[in-house]
Chain A
Amino acid sequence: DAGITQSPRHKVTETGTPVTLRCHQTENHRYMYWYRQDPGHGLRLIHYSYGVKDTDKGEVSDGYSVSRSKTEDFLLTLESATSSQTSVYFCAISVGTGPGETQYFGPGTRLLVL
């Protein structure tokens, strides 16, 4: 998994509660990404980061925020979880010099919002 860990690996929460997912990398890659994966939609980009404190939105960013205070950690926060955010969340890093280079994925976090 290219030195990528995600925590927690599984989480069950209730609608309206805040949730934070953590992605940690050990190789100082500049670009990090958060995706969600749902049946019928494949992988969709939520947010990405191109450096410490530098982030940008992806195609499905509504309801999510991110933070990157250190190179190795990229946090995804659901401020007030909804059932539509039940999904599998994957973090990825890019090993190239640009955002479109080969990406390697973490093991995923399965989130269930009741």
Chain B
Amino acid sequence: GESVGLHLPTLSVQEGDNSIINCAYSNSASDYFIWYKQESGKGPQFIIDIRSNMDKRQGQRVTVLLNKTVKHLSLQIAATQPGDSAVYFCAEVAGAQKLVFGQGTRLTINP
């Protein structure tokens, strides 16, 4: 597959452990946030989103936490599996503006 990013931050975890991927966003006016997963050779895939009036949202095996005070977003993946290996992007939206994507974090799973 294509190289999504040659110098991406990388997180390596053991299979079965929990993963936490962090994202710092830039615009304090951003009111909507999305996490995407991108596997090699594929387009970004929606995982979970959160509005700025929330500080936590849970999905299936994933949880997103939002800390507006420090402009920080995190994605927690429970019981990490080999299929979770991918690049993960956060994206922010301010008002009616377009999505602004972060640089991404590469998650690798060790057997």
A-side residues, CB < 8 A to B, are 1, 33, 37, 39-45, 48, 58, 88, 90, 92, 98-108, 110
Complex interface residues of chain B between 30 and 88 (CB less than 8 A to chain A): 32, 34, 36, 41-46, 49
Residues on B with beta carbons closer than 8 Å to the beta carbon of A48:
98
| Docked-complex contact A40 and B43, CB < 8 angstroms | no
| Docked-complex contact B43 and A108, CB < 8 angstroms | yes
Residues on A with beta carbons closer than 8 Å to the beta carbon of B98:
33, 45, 48, 58, 99-100
Residues on A with beta carbons closer than 8 Å to the beta carbon of B41:
108
| Docked-complex contact B99 and A100, CB < 8 angstroms | yes
Q: How far is the CA of A95 from the CA of B4 in the complex (A)?
A: 25
| Docked-complex contact A106 and B96, CB < 8 angstroms | no
Known: A43-B89, A99-B97. A106 touches B102 (CB 8 A): no
Q: How far is the CA of A106 from the CA of B38 in the complex (A)?
A: 12
